[in-house]
Structure 1
Amino acid sequence: MRGVRALRAAGLVDDLSFRHPAARAKVLDGMGPAHRRDLHHRADSLLHGDGAQASVIAPHLRAARSVDQPWGVQVLQDAAEEVLADDEVRLAIAYLELAHRCCADAQHCAAIRIRIAVLMRRRNPSGAEKIAEELLHALRLGRLAPRHCVPLVNLFLAHGRIEEANEVLEALRKRPAGALPLATVQVGAQLTYMAELCLPWTDSHPYGHGQDHETEAAQSGMGCWRVWGRWLRVGRIRVW
């Protein structure tokens, strides 16, 4: 406390905060990296314990360049969504990239990578495509969970990569009946509906007879995918 009183007397601090950012920066620059990282982690733990917003905690995690608590990765993901409300896309991507580096679960990492790619799509389309290609490689090796496949299809569609999108859907179509995730069933139903708007269907459905209703909807949508993809290429339909 004697040191704090001396700083107050010198006009450097007000209560427990430095009065000028330059003084704060000078003190931080004089600290070793390990000491600074420890202080940031102590700060993020205190803030998390007090129920602070993720966007308040995340700057400390980013400054520390690491996560030392089980909740850290989720806090970074939540903070990314919060700052997006203010259109801070670059900051959101920075939080997600740190979350990805610190995440130990492969499927959780895949979900984070997909979100990064979605945010990068407008400002760095080549970077978003690279992520999609990495995830497709993981799918080919059997390392990507089915729940990530529909977002991956959407990524490839956004870049006009019809063949890759079809490959992902074909991989899902080969799964046993009843094993398709709900999101895939929903997309399959949407594709079926879009095809029915354009194709001269008859009363007899061309796909999926003898299967349960949900699997039939998903697989019939995937069955019409190649026709839909050809129409995308020639410009008869568009994806926004």
Structure 2
Amino acid sequence: MELVERAAELTELRKFFDDCAAGVGGAVLISGPVAVGKTRLMEEFCRSVDTTRTLVLAATAAETEHDIPLGLIRQLLGNAMASTQPADSRGALFRCAAQVREYAAAWDDKDPRARKAAIEHLCADLLAPARDRTVVICLDDLHLADSVSVELVLSLQRRSRMCRTMLLLGVCTTDPTYLSEIQVEFARSPRSHTLCLSGLTLPGVSAALRLSGLPEARALSFLRASGGNPLLLDALLTDAVRIGRDRDTADIPKAGNAFRKSMSACLYRLDDDTRTVLRAWAVLGRLRSRRLLRKLLGPDRDAAFVERAMAALAAVGILDHTGDFRIPETARIAVDTTTRTDRADLHLRVAVLLHEEGLGASVIAEHVLAAGDVAETWISPVLIKAAGEALAKGDADRALTCAERAHQIAAGRAAITALVALVRLKWLTSPSSASSHLRPLQRAMYRGRLDLSDAFALVAQLVWERRYPEAANVARWLDEHVDRTDAAELLHLRTMHTWLRLIGPMAADPGHDLLVGLPQPEHASADDSRMRAVSALVLPFGRNPRTRCARPPSTFWRVSSAATTRRWTARCPRCWP
């Protein structure tokens, strides 16, 4: 994308350069949020300078060189030596580069007076070429430079007024590490000027759309999506052109590969604190609030810190004025660009926070599953509850995932509860997959760790696997432990043994008729009608032991709901004889 809506700034820079060429030097500080176009403006200006009569030196600071003394100045001179320069200038630059290497190697051993003398000597060497021609020193991302280079640059700024030297400095305003010192120096000097860049306005976005061949009528939607950030706008325009003007008619521009790459680069250029706030804000998802964000970041991050970071993110164009992501895809990009370890730790912290806040199990389980291998004691019950909620919504895969994770991390009594939940889910979705868990359930039953309702269900699961002797053993155990004063349990027991006789001779206990001596339940007529319906349901198992249904009846032993039985048989006509 061509440079748009920066004509006034370019004109101001050229006027300042003309004054420098006339012998009145100075410095210009270009400040603004991340990716607002500072670098592009500086490059455009440097390209417009006549290099036959002007010496242009350029370098960009990097966070990796922040702890290297004079790292930015060494890069500046190295770039100059690698480019085509006049012979006299190359000699002076070569001598200056040698001095920089010598000073940098022993900088930590120098006392303050020697360091000050070295700074003055380097300033004189860098300003020496200005005797013969105009010199433009362009330093970008100065906020990332090492402290020694910043001190040298400020010394150059104070000395540049009396020679033909123009300092062009780019600073990001989202990281105030060195910004205050630079601002003070620029406020003191009459020949120091500051250009504050902001995002593009609607006319600028319209011009960018016109240059890309897209309809200007969509300018407002592109402005809202990009926040006026030139880097993000250029990426959205690239994706829109690739998609095609006829197919991309959505109100919000679609985020494609170009946008994902540009947003990743934009996130990388944020300072650590702002990036941390952004990722925490993204992981909170639909539960985002500044109160939860502050609790998630910890007690050492106050409200002012959060508001400062949120304002920086809004200035970049990532968030709107309400704190929402301008493009929802940005939240996923912010999380995906985090390392796996940090991402898992962040999800776990969010899960703990939401658990302390008493939020729903499904929301907490989402973060627990994303956290990976965690073994907190409170997690297993939450996952079991989340599995039930997912099953109620018809999401069987999600329910199984939650139950399996709960079974993996649970211990003690909670492990039995998790295993029961896992078996129930597998029994409802894929009965054969529950087979391997039936023996642990039987062991838990014999040790008195299994509820009677789960033991009744265990009989059904064993019969489904045609493990009739084991089913009969569980039935005998139930006969011994059922409370015979409870009419509902006795009805359940009576129904179970009736079904066992219907299914096959091996399922019933020969010589021991469990129906004898059991009292008749109330409402026997209604119960008999339900029994006949369910008997018709299970009769094929008795006629042909090899017959298998595609899915088991979830109400296999629960005769209290004839309506449920009718619904299931309507979906599975193979169950009828």
The TM-score with structure 2 as length reference comes to 0.31
Aligned to 2:542: 233
- What SS is found at the alignment partner of 2:411? coil
Aligned to 2:246: none
Larger radius of gyration: 2
Shift of 1:119: 2.0
The answer to whether the 8 Å contact 1:117/1:131 transfers is yes
Match of 1:112 among 383, 403, 418: 418
Compared with structure 1, are the counterparts of its residues 131 and 34 closer, same or farther at alpha carbon in structure 2 (3 Å cutoff)?
Answer: same
Q: Give the helix-richer structure, 1 or 2.
A: 1
Aligned to 1:190: 495
Shift of 1:8: 1.0
Match of 2:404 among 97, 101, 113: 97
Q: Give the strand-richer structure, 1 or 2.
A: 2
Q: Where does structure 1 lack aligned partners over 5 or more consecutive residues?
A: 198-204, 214-227
Shift of 1:7: 1.8
The answer to whether the 8 Å contact 1:41/1:68 transfers is no
Shift of 1:87: 0.3
Q: Where does structure 2 lack aligned partners over 5 or more consecutive residues?
A: 1-306, 503-511, 520-534, 546-551, 554-577
In the aligned structure 2, how far is the partner of 1:63 from the partner of 1:144? 31
Match of 2:376 among 56, 65, 68: 68
The answer to whether the 8 Å contact 1:61/1:67 transfers is no
Aligned residue pairs, count: 214
Match of 1:78 among 362, 375, 385: 385
**1:1-240 equivalence runs, <5 A:** 1-14=307-320, 15-65=322-372, 66-68=374-376, 70=378, 72-106=379-413, 108-121=414-427, 123-136=429-442, 145=450, 147=452, 148-172=454-478, 187-191=492-496, 232-234=541-543, 240=553
In the aligned structure 1, how far is the partner of 2:489 from the partner of 2:387? 26
Compared with structure 1, are the counterparts of its residues 132 and 17 closer, same or farther at alpha carbon in structure 2 (3 Å cutoff)?
Answer: farther
In the aligned structure 2, how far is the partner of 1:160 from the partner of 1:27? 52
In the aligned structure 2, how far is the partner of 1:32 from the partner of 1:10? 23
- What SS is found at the alignment partner of 2:405? helix
Shift of 1:29: 2.6
The answer to whether the 8 Å contact 2:416/2:444 transfers is no
Shift of 1:194: 6.5
The answer to whether the 8 Å contact 1:114/1:132 transfers is no
In the aligned structure 1, how far is the partner of 2:361 from the partner of 2:418? 16
In the aligned structure 2, how far is the partner of 1:98 from the partner of 1:195? 34
In the aligned structure 1, how far is the partner of 2:456 from the partner of 2:514? 20
C-alpha RMSD over aligned residues = 4.2
Compared with structure 1, are the counterparts of its residues 207 and 26 closer, same or farther at alpha carbon in structure 2 (3 Å cutoff)?
Answer: closer
Shift of 1:69: 5.2
Per-residue CA distance 1:102-149 (angstroms, 9 max, x = gap): 21124x323322322232235433212222244346668x58646443
Instruction: Percent identity, please.
Output: 26
The answer to whether the 8 Å contact 2:441/2:450 transfers is no
In the aligned structure 1, how far is the partner of 2:464 from the partner of 2:440? 16
The answer to whether the 8 Å contact 1:73/1:102 transfers is yes
In the aligned structure 2, how far is the partner of 1:112 from the partner of 1:195? 28
In the aligned structure 2, how far is the partner of 1:80 from the partner of 1:68? 18
Compared with structure 1, are the counterparts of its residues 19 and 158 closer, same or farther at alpha carbon in structure 2 (3 Å cutoff)?
Answer: farther
The TM-score with structure 1 as length reference comes to 0.66
